[in-house]
Structure 1
Amino acid sequence: MRRVAITGAGTINALGHDVPSTLAAMREGVCGIGSLDIRDVERLSIRIGAQVRDHDESTRFGRQQAALYDRFTQFALIAAEEAVATSGLCFEGELGLQAGVILGNSGGGLGTIDDSYRAVYEEGRSRVHPFVVPRLMGNAASSAVSMAHGLRGPTFTVASACASSNHAMGLAFQMVRSGMADVMLAGGSEAMLCFGGLKAWEGLRVMSPDACRPFSATRSGMVQGEGAAVFVFEDWDRAAARGAEILAEVAGFGMTADARDIVLPSVEGAERAMRLALADAGLDADQVGYVNAHGTGTAANDRTECEAIAGAFGNHAGRLMVSSTKAMHGHVIGGTGAIELLACLSALRDGVVPPTIGYEAPDPDCPLDVVPNAARQARISACLSNAFAFGGLNAVLALRAA
């Protein structure tokens, strides 16, 4: 079993259009949530979101590319380009055959679907654009990244709602560790901030009209975001031999299913996923200094997750730092775990634990150190990143400092 290094990272999200700007915003506790600028926003009850601002597709993509790529694919390509550039890898020749892409995504090209429904049902058109299927399909981003970088190894998309990115990264980690691939690009992308996407989420009655306040007694629900993050997972020995800068080590992965309820989370399932990740990484509970929580800002998630963390870490839970960065970049659904992995890199590499902003009042059912409102300097040698999805699907990554 090989060790797995992270040698590249890239992102675009509501906090920044690259990794340095995103990490700087996380350290400062910047809130990327604001008023939505989308078509028919006045018909929505929820009018806030963590939107990617100042994204001009015409400056990043040619006309033919823009016609072929939905917004979620564009985000993935931008993040992957940065990740590959920072890794210093070139995939020409043999390496391209030993490298692939696994991305998480939940909604596919939802903007394309929304526009096409409008064209057919609202405007009465008899045809849609010939590229509608290639734009909306869930694997569009993974395929586009593969083609952009000549990656001809295992390539596909994972769809498990809010756990999609962690499942994708966990599978990529296992492929590199087992020797199935030498290098994998892994992460996730999502672009659900369109009228149809938000109207569907409104129906669940879990959305906040004003802010995301994870673990705070004053919480009022989740806030949706958009964006992507992509990482380069590489065989450790290969990375060391070429003198690559190693950002962190992917050490373990755990995944479980609650097999109980389609929307209500389970303490047992979440706790078991964390225990499995620790065991897979060979980590004792007291070696972990930070947990990046799923932390959606809903009462059901926050209280369940805190109880699960307490169960998984026992007496050490009171000494853990636990934060949710969703109050800054929003809940990016299928892409959220990937963006949150950047918070883990901040803790492991820079010694800065991003905060849970928007925290106003303690919740007695969430008695953990949630790093309220201000980032904290700390020396972290290992951390977990949690993702828990509708459908009762749980995926947890364990990372070590390089």
Structure 2
Amino acid sequence: MNTPNRVVITGLGALSPIGNNVDDFWDNLTNGVSGGRRISHFDPSEFRTHVACELKDYDAKDHLDHNTIRRTDPYSQYALVSTQEAVEDSGLDFDEMDPYDTGVIWGSGQGGMETFEQEVRNYAENDYSPRFNPFFVPKLIINMAPGLISMKYGLMGINYATVSACATSNTAIMDALNYIRWGKAKVMITGGSEAGITEASFGGFSSMRAMSQRNDDPEHASRPFDKERDGFVMGEGAATLILEEYEHAKARGAHIYGEVTGAAMTADAYHMTATHPEGKGASVAMTQALDDSELNTEDVDYINTHATSTPMGDISETKAIASVFGDHLDTLSVSATKSMTGHLLGAAGAIEAIASIKAINNNVIPPTINTENIDEEIPAELDIVLNEAREQEVNVAMSDTFGFGGHNAIVVFKGV
């Protein structure tokens, strides 16, 4: 059996509620800046929840031409913006490459939700006249984001979208990793985007009572592990990673951020929206991801937790961590960056992958903010980085994601 190709990260791009590029995102993340505010996209007064982590000082016209904006949904626009930064960061010149050597695997949990909402509303307001926008379907479908990326850069390799709710972009990263390992691609553009802060999407989550109702204190609404947490805070944005076969990256003198050593995915087979109470599927996925990486529990320095600030989810994940890393919890640090970014749904794994990679590059662990009193059901031996970033050697980082439907997707990164 042939030895699988090594896969490294050579480009990063981010569009987040706490920074519209990677540098600003990382600076605000390590300084504990909250992206939580009262919603401005629409009037949330009729909903239980009024807070979200929206993009700030962002205007699509600063990045994209008029026709692209007119013909695409914001979730695709976010994907194009973060990918442009990542491609520029990578130094790749696709004109000098075989177009079939590069592919795109992209994730989104909801896709063109704004487009769907607007078109159905227009249909109803016009006496149900069947005069839909001819771009309705192309703007709506989730696979359009990777399609648009491929068209922009002339990439003719593997191209599709993944959907696994809030585990989505980790699934995309895992698939991209494997195609390069198998020799099916030299370079893969991967990540996720979400533009779900719309009345329909927001209203649905609000009616589920899944989101925080700390409306009078938006900046402190996302509070993972805290005994007073009352739900997640929705975020929006995108993040892109350029994955590249190691020898290909080395030959062109690319800057290498780190290596994707392994990944794994399991299903809870338990509940539509709730995680398994003991984190059964999550713990198996963590173990399998380490096995895939040929690493041991003691090798992991940092876990960027999924930790959405929901009462059940935070507990089940930390129980899973404790069960897998039990003998080595004293050398393991964890934090929840959703306390600052909010929950980017299908883009969560990608933005948290960047946080994990930057932690390795800078030997700095971003903090968990807003957590004042840790829930008694959170394993006491867990070392949660609170309030301030911690300078600490980080060689290996694990990124956890979990999604409605019982999806568990774990990715492991290592310095090179």
User: TM-score range, shorter-chain basis?
Assistant: over 0.9
What TM-score do you get using the length of structure 1 for normalisation?
A: 0.98
Matching residue of 1:152: 156
Matching residue of 1:374: 388
- Contact 1:228/1:338 (8 A) holds in 2: yes
2:271 is equivalent to residue 261 of structure 1: yes
Matching residue of 1:2: 5
For 1:291 and 1:318, how far apart are their aligned partners in 2?
A: 13
Over residues 141-179 of structure 1, what are the superposed CA-to-partner deviations in whole Å (9 max), with x where a residue is unaligned? 111111111111001100100000000000000111111
Q: Residue 122 and residue 319 in structure 1: after superposition, are their counterparts in 2 closer, same or farther (change >3 A)?
A: farther
Does the residue aligned with 2:384 lie in a helix, a strand or coil?
coil
Matching residue of 1:277: 289
- Contact 2:8/2:258 (8 A) holds in 1: yes
Say which of 183, 187, 203 aligns to 1:183: 187
Matching residue of 2:205: 201
- Contact 1:224/1:333 (8 A) holds in 2: yes
- Contact 1:44/1:195 (8 A) holds in 2: no
- Contact 2:167/2:349 (8 A) holds in 1: yes
Shift in Å, 1:123: 4.7
For 1:379 and 1:298, how far apart are their aligned partners in 2?
A: 30
**What amino acid does structure 2 have at the position aligned with 1:377?**
E
**What amino acid does structure 1 have at the position aligned with 2:18?**
L
For 1:346 and 1:59, how far apart are their aligned partners in 2?
A: 26
- Contact 2:18/2:56 (8 A) holds in 1: no
Does the residue aligned with 1:10 lie in a helix, a strand or coil?
strand
**What amino acid does structure 2 have at the position aligned with 1:286?**
E
**What amino acid does structure 1 have at the position aligned with 2:5?**
R
Say which of 116, 122, 136 aligns to 1:113: 116
Say which of 42, 47, 55 aligns to 2:45: 42
Matching residue of 2:218: none
Matching residue of 2:217: none
For 1:324 and 1:10, how far apart are their aligned partners in 2?
A: 20
**What amino acid does structure 2 have at the position aligned with 1:389?**
G
For 2:283 and 2:293, how far apart are their aligned partners in 1?
A: 16
- Contact 2:302/2:334 (8 A) holds in 1: yes
For 2:47 and 2:311, how far apart are their aligned partners in 1?
A: 23
- Contact 2:400/2:411 (8 A) holds in 1: yes
2:154 is equivalent to residue 140 of structure 1: no
Shift in Å, 1:29: 0.6
2:353 is equivalent to residue 341 of structure 1: yes
For 2:98 and 2:313, how far apart are their aligned partners in 1?
A: 42
Structure 1, unpaired ranges of 5+: none
What TM-score do you get using the length of structure 2 for normalisation?
A: 0.95
**What amino acid does structure 2 have at the position aligned with 1:59?**
D
Corresponding residue pairs, total: 402
Question: Identity over aligned residues, as a percent?
Answer: 38
- Contact 2:109/2:163 (8 A) holds in 1: yes
For 2:284 and 2:264, how far apart are their aligned partners in 1?
A: 8
For 1:312 and 1:196, how far apart are their aligned partners in 2?
A: 39
For 2:28 and 2:99, how far apart are their aligned partners in 1?
A: 34
Shift in Å, 1:58: 2.2
Say which of 235, 252, 266 aligns to 2:262: 252
For 1:62 and 1:234, how far apart are their aligned partners in 2?
A: 29
For 1:151 and 1:310, how far apart are their aligned partners in 2?
A: 43
Shift in Å, 1:343: 1.2
Shift in Å, 1:93: 5.0
Q: Residue 123 and residue 32 in structure 1: after superposition, are their counterparts in 2 closer, same or farther (change >3 A)?
A: farther
For 2:362 and 2:150, how far apart are their aligned partners in 1?
A: 31
**What amino acid does structure 2 have at the position aligned with 1:183?**
V
- Contact 1:111/1:192 (8 A) holds in 2: yes
Shift in Å, 1:319: 2.7
2:246 is equivalent to residue 236 of structure 1: yes
The correspondence of residues 356-375 of structure 1 with structure 2, limited to 5 A, is 356-366=368-378, 367=380, 368-375=382-389
Matching residue of 2:223: 213
2:78 is equivalent to residue 75 of structure 1: yes
Matching residue of 2:92: 89
- Contact 2:26/2:355 (8 A) holds in 1: yes
- Contact 2:357/2:397 (8 A) holds in 1: no
- Contact 1:10/1:231 (8 A) holds in 2: yes
Over residues 191-224 of structure 1, what are the superposed CA-to-partner deviations in whole Å (9 max), with x where a residue is unaligned? 0001111001112111102201001112111000
Shift in Å, 1:63: 1.8
